[in-house]
Structure 1
Amino acid sequence: MTDHDGREAASLGDAAAAGLVFGSSAAVLVVELVALRLLAPYLGLTLETNTLVIGIALTAIAIGSWIGGRAADTVPPRRTLGPLLAISGVVVAATPSTVRAAGASGSDDLVLLVAAAAILVPGMLLSAVTPMVTKLRLTDLDRTGAVVGRLSGIGTAGAIFGTVVTGFVLVSTVPVTGILVGLGAALVVSAVAVEVLVRGWRFGIGPAALVVVGGLATAVVPDECDVETTYHCASVVADPERDGGRTLVLDGLRHSYVDVDDPTHLEFEYVRTIAAAVDTVHPDDRPVDAYHLGGGGLTIPRWLAATRPGSRSVVSEIDPGVVQVDRDRLGLETGPDLQVRVEDGRLGLGRLDAASRDLVVGDAFGGISPPWHLTTSEAIAEVRRVLTDDGTYVANVIDYGPLDFARAEARTIAGVFEHVAVAGDPDAFRFEGGGNLVIVASDVPIDAAGLTSRLSERDVPWRVVTGTELRTWIGDARALTDDRAPTDQLLTPYAVAS
């Protein structure tokens, strides 16, 4: 086989061809999955973010395959494989630094633009590898179908491998930065090997130097995470005004505040509201058996243990890394009265005995959005199942603007429990604001006046809405179900500046 200049092209054996197709296809999926985690601190873990990243990756694959196939007929593939891999490697290795630099600007549009480029460029270039390799391997027209089919199957296998290894191994063991810089280095090393194999050693010198660019860029831009956990970019920020005060930040959001010296200190208004609700339904300060959907900094479980000795709390926290941060940085100590289970909250609910809890606290979020499967009628029915006859469910939700999600969740909970109250900033009930709202539900009447009084005692200037006023506020919002729970579409995650 000769190239377009009439010179003999170096052969590309079956093993090398299979390795290039397998590896490039796997790399595209690694970039796609890791991009979701890299974007979470700036755009949140929402359905829209997932859809955006998947859409960009599929677009890159389609464009790269199409253009790569056409280019293979006009440009000698042996001259293009090395540059395709090398440029992809540099872009991938530089992605963490460029995305975080964009995030530091505070512009979501810039983050989207940089992230799109970081997915599109390597996705297109790596997807062009398969048609290039296919062109090199098509030395016998009688075997066209076999060659194309084999390489297509190998590419699909590579994509599956990249998906499985990233989801089950890499993300849980290697920081996001390490994954991308390591992948970028591997791609550039592959470029060097390909250049040496098909063109000669002197052509490998240039690509070998390129990986330094990505490494230096990553070293220059600081990492905003103290720890990259399985699900979050996590950091702990000390409170300069309180010696023991610590804020747990997950994906750029202030998730929990813990005073490691004084667990009775509750900083956030919504946390003080949850405490006020507990004190309202259990005014005698007796111990309670509680279950917590979501852990975070475990502020409420610690508060219960400190203010109601003998209380027993079971916490379902899906992220083992967050639990480790709690132990290492926030002074968490577990035992028989405070158990933390690393598990999905919906599955954790199903493992609890019926009528075994006096209190269930719902405070689980992936970024600004709650996991949809914890918001549905079926999930709330499970909450009701584990509560005693006079038990109480207290849920934190966040919404702004028309409050479509908050009203739908209130409707959903009201469809399961006989009595519901919602506490929030007065502007939220006029659709002029929003933020955190706390929903309190039980099958026994809720003392709204008592809750309002306890909020005042805790310096929380919120209103409590029940009965007809609550039904009017909920309006025509539809209950969420396992079959239909468009939480990300209903949610307005941030206040809109007027």
Structure 2
Amino acid sequence: MDAGLRSYRFSKAELAVFVSGIVSMGLEILAVRVVAPQFGSHIYTIGGILTVFLAALSLGYWRGGKRAAAHASTDRLVWLFLLTAVYVAVLIFARDLLLVATATIPLPARYASLPAVILLFGPPTYFLGFVSPYAAQLSQKADVGAASGHVYALGTIGSIIGSAGTTFLLIPTLSIDGVSLLFGLLLVSTALVLTVPSLPRVPVASIAVVTLLLFAAAGSGSMGYSVHGEVVHQSQTPYQELEVIDRGSERTMFLDGTRHSAKDLEDPDRHVFAYTAYFHLPYLTVDDPDEIDRALFVGGGGYTGPQSFVERDENVHVDVVEIDPEVTAAAKEYFGLEESERLEAHTGDGRQFLEESDETYDVIVLDAYKQDNVPFHLTTREFMELAKERLSDDGVLVANVISAPSGPASEFYRAEYRTMEAVFPQVYSFRTSDTGAVQNIQLVATKDDERLSQETLQERNAEREIGIDLETAVGYYEGDVDTTGAPVLEDDNAPVDSLLDPMVGQRYVIEETDGGNESETARLAEPPSARA
């Protein structure tokens, strides 16, 4: 038996099935990274990708099965692989254009990504669906069941390799274009092997043309510029697409296509995004700002918030826990992050870090939420109780929540407010824009039984020398928040995806400060109290 296994060789049909499994599943994993920057990485995008791939494969299986008896041949397999490779070249060259074009199709937000997924990945997956029934027809096994089982087993093994290899090796190592090119070359290489030993002229010439097309597409795919500006750095991390883009004097970190951190290269002290200045609100809520000695940021991004703490308070020590080490590396190279005795970066999950830590913090800033992707375990009552335990007696928790302040798109904000309210005696809310759009809303929770008024906060802002003017931030004080019908999020019941659902497709407004303005907060839209 061992000798039989050692002497076993793939037939051409079996090789075709194996490679089709690798490529089909690899493209499915890659599709998440291609589509997410335009449409988000929420459950509807992921579900849409799975649906389209399964539908395209099923259609290919069905059509291939009907045609297999009359058309199955090694030559047909060659052309199927070449057609798929041509479409991969299209994917490399024109994916951004196709993504933007399909985004204009008027569909409900939860279905918005479907046209893009269908157009970009439907045809190549459909072509690959033909391979298995053709290979079963070409199998040397006499029994239909044995032939089918053998083909499905090889295809599944290929899918396992394609899934694991793309997830754990290719995406963390190569760009989207690089991974796509690799799949394209695997397809044309397999097509070439299928022509051996006869090497007919037309298929071989076609293989050469498609290979050149793949390299041409890859060579022209990235010109170092996007609609956002000049691309300084781009990588696919195990967690997200990371880009650093310069536009004028502003340098911005994009995570999965969404602005996350920004720095003014000409004025490094400026808070480009207004909401990052709000992280200093604990200096107004505590009784004595001089007693703020230790702060923790959950989520680093460009580390602009943590660096601001260190620069403005010479007594504070800041720990930052960031799950993606490549984000921290980019912050060091492009955003001036320098670790020191007063600023330490840790790689890991924020909740796990708090569970394993015995440190006590005066401020905890929770900055790990995205508009369409929120780690639910950082939203629940159990997490808030853990954070409260790690805070000093006068400690403050700040949560940067992305949501609308009212209306249907405010469901997550109201649920998070109610959850924090179930744990902390006082919770304050500060919006960053006077529009009703999805925006950054800062929830500030304290252990103090006495509630501070907006007037008191304004007086403290005027009196205290904390190195930053928070007048506009305090002006956006929301007062009481209506949490009627909002759930308290629990570890065993945190429907975060459904709460985020109304925000899908909504415009996300990030207020920016005016360059050169002495105030550290946004003047693009003053709060109602400032206009009164």
| Fold match (TM-score > 0.5) | yes
Task: Identify the residue that residue 405 of structure 1 maps to in structure 2.
Answer: 412
Task: Identify the residue that residue 206 of structure 1 maps to in structure 2.
Answer: 206
Structure 2 counterparts to residues 160-179 of structure 1, below 5 A: 160-179=160-179
For residues 258-301 of structure 1, give each alpha carbon's deviation from its aligned partner in whole angstroms, at most 9, with x where no partner exists. 34676543222211222233443265344421111111111121
Q: Residue 402 of structure 2 contacts residue 441 of structure 2 at CA under 8 Å; is this kept in 1?
A: yes
Structure 2 counterparts to residues 309-320 of structure 1, below 5 A: 309-320=314-325
SS at 1:14 equivalent: coil
Change (3 A) 1:196 1:117: farther
Check if 1:32 corresponds to 2:28.
yes
Check if 1:419 corresponds to 2:416.
no
Equivalent residue in structure 2 for 1:229, among 222, 233, 236: 236
Structure 2 counterparts to residues 346-425 of structure 1, below 5 A: 346-353=351-358, 356-366=360-370, 368-400=372-404, 401-402=407-408, 403-425=410-432
SS at 2:281 equivalent: helix
Q: Residue 408 of structure 1 contacts residue 477 of structure 1 at CA under 8 Å; is this kept in 2?
A: yes
Task: Identify the residue that residue 262 of structure 2 maps to in structure 1.
Answer: 257
CA shift for structure 1 position 200: 3.5
Task: Identify the residue that residue 150 of structure 1 maps to in structure 2.
Answer: 150
Question: So what's the TM-score if we normalise by structure 1?
Answer: 0.86
Q: Residue 377 of structure 2 contacts residue 383 of structure 2 at CA under 8 Å; is this kept in 1?
A: yes
Q: Letter of the aligned partner of 1:414 in structure 2?
A: E
Change (3 A) 1:191 1:421: same
User: Following the alignment from structure 2 to structure 1, what is the Cα–Cα distance between the partners of residues 88 and 457?
Assistant: 53
Task: Identify the residue that residue 281 of structure 1 maps to in structure 2.
Answer: 286
User: Following the alignment from structure 2 to structure 1, what is the Cα–Cα distance between the partners of residues 429 and 69?
Assistant: 66
Structure 2 counterparts to residues 475-490 of structure 1, below 5 A: 475-490=484-499
User: Following the alignment from structure 1 to structure 2, what is the Cα–Cα distance between the partners of residues 258 and 474?
Assistant: 35
Task: Identify the residue that residue 7 of structure 1 maps to in structure 2.
Answer: none
User: Following the alignment from structure 1 to structure 2, what is the Cα–Cα distance between the partners of residues 424 and 117?
Assistant: 39
User: Following the alignment from structure 2 to structure 1, what is the Cα–Cα distance between the partners of residues 318 and 478?
Assistant: 28
Question: So what's the TM-score if we normalise by structure 2?
Answer: 0.81
Q: Letter of the aligned partner of 1:118 in structure 2?
A: L
User: Following the alignment from structure 1 to structure 2, what is the Cα–Cα distance between the partners of residues 54 and 71?
Assistant: 26
Structure 2 counterparts to residues 23-172 of structure 1, below 5 A: 23-104=19-100, 107-109=103-105, 112-137=114-139, 139-141=140-142, 143-172=143-172
Q: Residue 100 of structure 1 contacts residue 221 of structure 1 at CA under 8 Å; is this kept in 2?
A: no
Change (3 A) 1:210 1:229: closer
SS at 1:341 equivalent: strand
Q: Residue 363 of structure 2 contacts residue 397 of structure 2 at CA under 8 Å; is this kept in 1?
A: yes
For residues 50-77 of structure 1, give each alpha carbon's deviation from its aligned partner in whole angstroms, at most 9, with x where no partner exists. 1111111121222222222222122133
User: Following the alignment from structure 1 to structure 2, what is the Cα–Cα distance between the partners of residues 301 and 107?
Assistant: 35
Q: Residue 458 of structure 2 contacts residue 471 of structure 2 at CA under 8 Å; is this kept in 1?
A: no
Change (3 A) 1:144 1:414: same
Q: Residue 430 of structure 2 contacts residue 474 of structure 2 at CA under 8 Å; is this kept in 1?
A: no
User: Following the alignment from structure 1 to structure 2, what is the Cα–Cα distance between the partners of residues 313 and 295?
Assistant: 11
Q: Letter of the aligned partner of 1:17 in structure 2?
A: A
CA shift for structure 1 position 33: 0.7
For residues 452-498 of structure 1, give each alpha carbon's deviation from its aligned partner in whole angstroms, at most 9, with x where no partner exists. 564974434743234xx22xx2221112223333323322155469x
Task: Identify the residue that residue 514 of structure 2 maps to in structure 1.
Answer: none
Task: Identify the residue that residue 516 of structure 2 maps to in structure 1.
Answer: none
Structure 2 counterparts to residues 322-361 of structure 1, below 5 A: 322-353=327-358, 356-361=360-365
Change (3 A) 1:397 1:208: same
- The range that moved more, 358-367 or 388-397, is 358-367
SS at 1:438 equivalent: strand
SS at 1:365 equivalent: coil
Q: Residue 293 of structure 2 contacts residue 362 of structure 2 at CA under 8 Å; is this kept in 1?
A: yes
Q: Identical aligned pairs, as a percentage? A: 28
User: Following the alignment from structure 1 to structure 2, what is the Cα–Cα distance between the partners of residues 85 and 277?
Assistant: 60
**How many residues are matched?**
473
User: Following the alignment from structure 2 to structure 1, what is the Cα–Cα distance between the partners of residues 433 and 274?
Assistant: 13
Equivalent residue in structure 2 for 1:295, among 300, 325, 348: 300
Task: Identify the residue that residue 477 of structure 2 maps to in structure 1.
Answer: 464
Q: Residue 192 of structure 1 contacts residue 205 of structure 1 at CA under 8 Å; is this kept in 2?
A: no
User: Following the alignment from structure 1 to structure 2, what is the Cα–Cα distance between the partners of residues 198 and 73?
Assistant: 23
CA shift for structure 1 position 175: 1.2
Change (3 A) 1:197 1:49: farther
Q: Residue 102 of structure 1 contacts residue 111 of structure 1 at CA under 8 Å; is this kept in 2?
A: no
User: Following the alignment from structure 2 to structure 1, what is the Cα–Cα distance between the partners of residues 473 and 427?
Assistant: 20
Change (3 A) 1:69 1:346: farther
CA shift for structure 1 position 410: 0.9
The Cα RMSD (Å) is: 2.8
Runs of 5+ in structure 2 lacking a partner? 1-7, 106-111, 462-467, 509-532
Runs of 5+ in structure 1 lacking a partner? 1-11
Task: Identify the residue that residue 4 of structure 2 maps to in structure 1.
Answer: none
For residues 182-213 of structure 1, give each alpha carbon's deviation from its aligned partner in whole angstroms, at most 9, with x where no partner exists. 11122122112213457745432213211333
User: Following the alignment from structure 2 to structure 1, what is the Cα–Cα distance between the partners of residues 315 and 474?
Assistant: 31
Task: Identify the residue that residue 517 of structure 2 maps to in structure 1.
Answer: none
CA shift for structure 1 position 49: 1.1
